[in-house]
Amino acid sequence: MLLISCPYCGPRDEHEFSYGHEAHIARPTLEQQQTMSDAEWADYLFMRKNPKGVHFERWVHSRGCRQWFNVARHTVTHEIIKVYPMGEPAPNLEQK
Amino acid sequence: MSAQKNRLATGGRIDRSRPVRFTFDGKAYYGYQGDSLASALLANGVTLVGRSFKYHRPRGIVSAGAEEPNALIEVGTGNRREPNTRAPQIELYDGLTTASQNRWPSLDFDLGAVNSCLSRFFPSGFYYKTFKWPKDGWLFYEKFIRRMAGLGTGSTEADPDRYDKVYGHCDVMVVGGGPAGIAAALAAGRAGARVVLVDEQSELGGSLLSERDRSIDGKPAMDWVAAAEAELAAMPEVKVLTRTTAFAYLDANMLSCVERITDHIGPNASGPRQRLWRIRAREVILATGSIERPLVYSDNDRPGCMLASAGRTYVNRYGTAPGQRVVILTNNDTAYQTALDFAAAGVSVAAVVDLRANPQGALVQATRDKGIEVIANSAITHVKGAKQVKEVDVMSLSADGKSVTGGVRHIYCDTVLSSGGWQPTVHLHSQTRAKVVWNEELHAFVPGPVMPGQNNVSVGAAKGVFGLADCLAEGHEAGAEAARRFGFTNAAGSAAGAEAEPAAEPLRPMWIVPSDKPVGQGGKHFVDYQNDVTAADVMLAHREGYLSVEHLKRYTTMGMATDQGKTSNVNALAIMAGLRGMNIPEVGTTTFRPPYTPVTFGVFAGPDKGDFLDPIRKTPIHQWHADHGAAFECVGQWHRAWYYPKAGESMHDAVNREVKATRDSVGIVDASTLGKIDIQGPDAAWFLNMVYTNAWTKLEPGKCRYGFMCGEDGMVFDDGVTSRIAENHFHMTTTTGGAARVLSWLEEWHQCEWPDRKVYFTSVTEQWAVFALNGPNSRKVLEKVVSGIDLSEEAFPFMSWRDCEVAGVKARIFRISFTGALSFEVNVPPSYALHVWRALMSAGEEFNITPYGTEALHVLRAEKGFVIVGQETDGTMTPQDLGFEWIIGKAKPDFIGRRSHLRSDTARPDRKHLVGLLTENPQEVLPEGAQIVEHVKDKPPMTMIGHVTSSYWSPNANRSIAMAVIKNGRNRMGQTVYLPYDGKVVAARIAKTDFLQDGAAANA
């Protein structure tokens, strides 16, 4: 079971949290929506990274403070490399 | 009662003043307090304890620990029967009832043993071959295989025992209570760290429990253990858990452990039977010891064939000889300690057969000095005796050790002890997904580098360090170092000391001990006892191309039984390496996965069963429903009144009565479970515009509006009515089941996409009890109890809300309808709910007010074609598919899902549409989920064009009604379609979904 440090509550067991999906997927602006192709829209909707290595993803402390935040997690070692608030850009990490 | 013929006169850690009675296969025996089932059976001369998995060969006890592959036992009877428990790990208690497994009609005479004679027809991979050929072969063989091959059978009754769960947190967790583990716990505990020490055995000591005359710090080793235990018990921050197996090493240093609290006392003990510990540690010290490997020699599975270390444990710890006359086969020095201990205990050792050419180590010399014959450079080529070893054949090894030569010596014996070297117990290390590495000196896998974030260190035998003094020093250092790192600075003391072991010579790796016949002919060289995998099976796998360890494992099922290959994995791997002409590390190793030993389902469930599995939510007037005979149904966690049968009424009768009374006069339903979310803030209207498909900015305070929420994929996600309370204040309702999901959805979009928007969401589902009055007389009922407002159509129109008082209670009434009839939804604080409900019931008495449940609610809404999200929709339906083109805000530039509605597939006109279905025979009520076809064929496959989503008998339309989703359905109005089910074909006409117009007309 992962140990996740909620930026607002501190370290808690994984079962207090819910996984969202890949982080940093910006919703296309209205202008973009009007010009983008169906394929581009489908890419936004459905396509997600599945790296072997560091993955940036968003979690929510659903059984705690209910706040969303971002996590950089290694998909092989399950190591949580960084926890950072929503809105902050992805940290520049060496691919482990 | 039979005599304990193999019990030694003295010695062992058993309490001879406390005899314990137990049964095995219905026969009564006596052992002593402190015995394991295995030691007690051996003391009684019971060597045949089971039949093997595939060949039903007679099998005996092999080990004295968790690695036991053969002696799998059913413990207990009736609802407490537990299969596949390991005899060496079952503690004896008075009244213990045990039975052997996988035999019929009896252990002694087992018909399945014919499989052994037919073994060439059951090669490894047999099951897989039946999948491939002949066609349907598996279907034919499965019945026989399932009956013949198997382990014990569990009880089919409910488990009567209680189980507990607890979380633990510590600085240092030590797994294993042997010398290294105790030393680690002492050092860390003395320094001041919070320590948890777990050990799977009944008492601390680990390998020391099996020693005869070791000393630590100048006193007997077990005295040192007792002193350490007392010292640990006195430390307030140290917890010692015996009878506790750390079975899983999970992420971020969390270990799952099972504590067997009363298994050693029996079913009459008080308290929970077992407890699941989930312990999060800052540092884990793995002092899990090592497991001896058996040698792979011909017919090495005869009852009486045992590990050398196990024989030693039985003699030293349990005061029991495994047999009367022993032959030891070894490739290393450690087995000589067994010979010496047997000699000291007065058990006859006929010979030590050593695979090494010229062993001269100190223990070898000591053995010779005791007058025990050492037959060097030799192998056991045969073991005779079906149900008990009777004799072994010994021959000299050829120069290369690959064959035998010369004359045969027959040695009479009833027990063969073998030692093929030691494999560190790397299971927990491996469970972290860290690698193990091959050590050329030890001929064993040792732990490799640890995984990042999994702070652990292996010490002692678990790391391949076997000397007692070294184990004590390593454990001490690891414990002290961990404590120091976490800032605990009290004196850790110094490591305990012990005399060095006599110098040992290297072992001789010989993964198959040769016989006078080729492997696979004559005797069987078993590698995996529990799954009946032989060296010949590994060779077959190799010939058939299953070369990798993972393929070998799956093809032969080697290592896949309840023992997870604890005694077999390395031997099998080494044999495969030999066949491939590779080094062992090049072939690889299997990854160990949890659990280390089998864990009961009960302990995973813990107290979370029955009513405690999931929270049960009840409305504030639940008891009224129960008192009035309601049947309940579960809607998510809610228990909702389903229908209210009167005396003699069937469900059908009751629902029809409720539906009819509501349409004709007035009905009332407890809708308190409706999801409710209070939304406030200057951006509340803006936010609703984004999450609903329709427009909200212009909705006036006092008004309500129905809306669909879509996912970004454009599919309907939830629906409900939202009302504007004030400029910046809305009251949202959701489906009962969708409330939590919708709140999370709103929060996610707000926090992740539009965090600058000022809007706040609060769940108020349980802050309002909701009673919906429906039917033409609902206004007349309400008028009698309401004050503060005018209920007339003009003053209080449809789709608006008013604050008022109902029966003297502050209330909010919404004029919204889920039946299509005149309706008032009365919202009151839950603490007044029963009072208001009773007042409404009294007021309605003259109008025959009828409480109705969820079933009638469903029929009433279906009569008017109202959809239920999750019933008419399944995540693939857009609002347009449901016929709600009008609810899409055309003027709105953006909302969640809008862009997806423009995708070519979503926008095409012939998607599946929601339509009504009227069966040709109005009495025929279609099953929900029935598939719809345009053209009927004799048998499937037929082209399916849709399915029934809702279907009921409508007492108001006086016929069956159904809703369905059908391809291009709205453009097929009036067409006849067919529903083949239950061996018949029902014809139905596509219609509109308002059945009180369309359906009634159709029936007229």
CA B524, chain centre distance (Å):
36
**Cα separation, B507 vs A72, whole angstroms:** 48
Structure tokens at B701: 């305070």
Instruction: Return the residue in B748, B760, B761, B905 with the most chain A beta carbons within 10 A, the one to mutate for interface testing.
Output: B748
**What are B609-650's pLDDT values in tens digits?**
989 999 999 999 999 999 999 999 999 999 999 999 999 999
Say whether both B656 and B780 belong to one domain: yes
DSSP state of B94: T
B244 shares a domain with B234 = yes
Whether residue B43 is found in the same domain as residue B171: no
pLDDT tier at B1003 (50, 70, 90 boundaries)?
A: very low
Output the pLDDT for position B886.
87
For residue B230, being part of any structural domain is answered with: yes
Asked if B893's CB is within 8 angstroms of A14's CB, the reply is: no
| Chain B residues within 8 A of A60 when measuring between CB atoms | 744, 747-748
Asked which of B485, B509, B537 is the last residue of a domain, the reply is B485
Given a cut of 80, whether residue B125 has pLDDT beyond it is: no
What does the pLDDT read at residue B559? 86
| Separation between Cα atoms, residue B574 and residue B578, nearest integer Å | 6
Per-window interface: A 30-69 vs B, CB < 8 A = 30, 33, 36, 38, 41-42, 45, 58, 60, 62, 66-68
Cβ atoms B73, B98 nearer than 8 A: yes
- Of B860, B877, B898, the domain-final residue: B860
Instruction: Give the closest of A14, A28, A78 to B453, CB-based.
Output: A78
B254 and A42: CB-CB below 8 Å? no
Main-chain phi, psi angles of B373, to 5 degrees = -75, 130
Strand intervals (E) in B138-237: 163-175, 195-198, 215-216, 219-220
Are the beta carbons of A13 and B279 closer than 8 angstroms? no
- Domain coverage including residue B563: 517-580
* B748, B902, B903: residue with CB nearest A20: B748
Residue A53: both structure tokens together: 């290595």
Question: What mean pLDDT do residues B578-596 have?
Answer: 90
Distance from the Cα of residue B102 to its chain's centroid = 25
To the nearest whole Å, the CA of B728 is away from the closest chain A CA by: 23
One-letter amino acid for residue B555 of the chain: Y
Return all residues near B610 (Cβ < 8 A) that are at least 6 apart.
Answer: none
Chain A residues near residue B690 by CB distance under 8 angstroms: none
Report chain B's mean pLDDT, rounded to a whole number: 94
Cβ neighbours for B565, distance < 8 A, ≥ 6 positions apart:
B528, B553, B558, B559, B572, B590
**B491 belongs to a structural domain:** no
Mean pLDDT on B575-598: 91
pLDDT band at B140 (very low <50, low <70, confident <90, very high): low
**Do B772 and B753 fall within a single domain?**
no
Cβ of B900 within 8 Å of Cβ of A3? The answer is no
Whether residues B664 and B680 share a domain: the answer is no
Chain B nearest-CA distance from A18, in A, is 10
CATH number at residue B372: 3.50.50.60
Distance between CA B322 and CA B22 in Å, rounded? 19
Contacts of B754 in chain A (CB under 8 A): none
What is the mean pLDDT of the segment spanning B90-100? 96
CB count, 10 Å around CB of B636?
Answer: 17
Q: Are residues B846 and B814 in the same domain?
A: yes
Q: A79: nearest CA in chain B?
A: B453
Task: Indicate the residue of B452, B744, B898 with minimum beta-carbon distance to A62.
Answer: B744
In a domain, B600, yes or no: no
Within 13 A of A59's CA, how many CA atoms are on the CB side?
A: 29
| C-alpha span between B487 and B489 (Å, rounded) | 6
- Region at B714 (left for phi over 0; alpha for psi -120 to 50; beta for the rest): left
Cα-to-chain-centroid distance, residue B970: 47
Sequence-ordered alpha helix ranges (H) in B327-378: 334-345, 362-369
Check CB contact under 8 Å for A58 and B752.
yes
Whether the Cβ atoms of residue B748 and residue A20 lie closer than 8 Å to each other:
yes
Q: Residue B751: which of A41, A45, A67 has the nearest Cβ?
A: A67
B967 shares a domain with B839: no
Task: Grade residue B1002 by pLDDT with cuts at 50, 70 and 90.
Answer: very low
Q: Please give the pLDDT value at position B549.
A: 86
Determine the average pLDDT of the residues in B780-796.
Answer: 97
Same domain as B140, residue B31: yes
The domain tally of chain B equals 7
Interface of B with A (CB under 8 A): 250-254, 278, 280, 433, 451-453, 712-713, 744, 747-748, 751-753, 755, 893-894, 898-900, 902-904
Token match 């099996």: residue?
Answer: B210
Tens digit of pLDDT for each residue in B736-750? 999 999 999 999 999
For residue A68, the chain B residues in CB contact (below 8 A) are 747-748, 751-752
Q: For the segment B904-913, what is each residue's pLDDT rounded down to a tens digit?
A: 999 999 999 9
pLDDT band at B563 (very low <50, low <70, confident <90, very high): confident
What CATH number did the domain enclosing B84 receive? 3.10.20.440
Distance from CA of A54 to the nearest CA of B (A): 13
pTM: 0.90
On whether the CB atoms of residues B569 and B559 are closer than 8 A, the answer is yes
Q: Other C-beta atoms within 10 Å of B469: how many? A: 16
3-state secondary structure of B897: coil
Residue at B477 is within a domain: yes
- The answer to the question of residue B503 being in a domain is no
Dihedral (Cα; B997, B1000, B1001, B1004), 10-degree rounding: -160
The answer to whether the CB of B800 falls within 8 A of the CB of B702 is yes
Q: What are phi and psi of B220, to 5 degrees?
A: -55, 140
Contact list in A for residue B712 (CB cut-off 8 A) is 27, 45
Residue B884 within any structural domain of the chain: no
Residue B638, amino acid: W
Q: Note whether B134 and B21 are same-domain residues.
A: yes
Contact B920, B999 (CB under 8 A): no
User: Do B78 and B185 reside in the same domain of the chain?
Assistant: no
Q: What is the pLDDT of residues B949-982, one digit of tens each?
A: 999 999 999 999 999 999 999 999 999 999 999 9
CA distance B89 to B4: 20
Q: Which residues in chain A have Cβ-Cβ distances shorter than 8 Å to B452? A: 74, 77, 79, 96
Interface-testing mutation among B750, B899, B904, with chain A (most A C-beta atoms within 10 A): B899
Pick the more confident residue, B496 or B107. B496
Q: Which of B712, B744, B753 sits opposite A45 (nearest CB)?
A: B712
Q: Which chain A positions have a beta carbon within 8 Å of B903's beta carbon?
A: 38, 41-42
- Nearest CA of chain A to the CA of B452: how many Å? 7
Domains and CATH numbers, chain A: 3-85 (3.30.2270.10)
List the structure tokens of A66. Answer: 């209910």
Chain A nearest C-alpha distance from B677 (Å): 15
- Record the tokens describing residue B167, joined without a space: 């979380």
Q: Which of B748, B767, B786 is the last residue of a domain?
A: B767
Which ranges of B152-220 would DSSP assign to H, the alpha helix? 179-191
A79 reaches B (C-beta below 8 A): yes
Contact list, B902 vs chain A (CB under 8 Å): 38
Residue B493 located in a structural domain: no
* Residue B601 counted as domain residue: no
Q: Are residues B216 and B250 both part of a single domain? A: yes
Over residues B648-668, the pLDDT tens digits come to 999 999 999 999 999 999 999
Residues on chain B touching A36 (C-beta within 8 angstroms): 899
C-alpha B879: how far from chain center: 40
Q: Quick one: B269 and B133 in the same domain? A: no
Name the residue in chain B with its Cα closest to that of A57.
B752
C-alpha triplet B171, B176, B177: angle, nearest 5°: 100
Which residue of chain A comes nearest to B903, CA vs CA?
A38
Nearest CB among A2, A30, A36 relative to B252 is that of A2
- Cβ–Cβ of B904/A38 closer than 8 Å? yes
CATH number for the domain that contains residue B663: 3.30.1360.120
Spatial neighbors of B21 by CB under 8 A, at least 6 apart, are B28, B29, B30, B94, B95
Is the CB of A1 less than 8 angstroms away from the CB of B251? yes
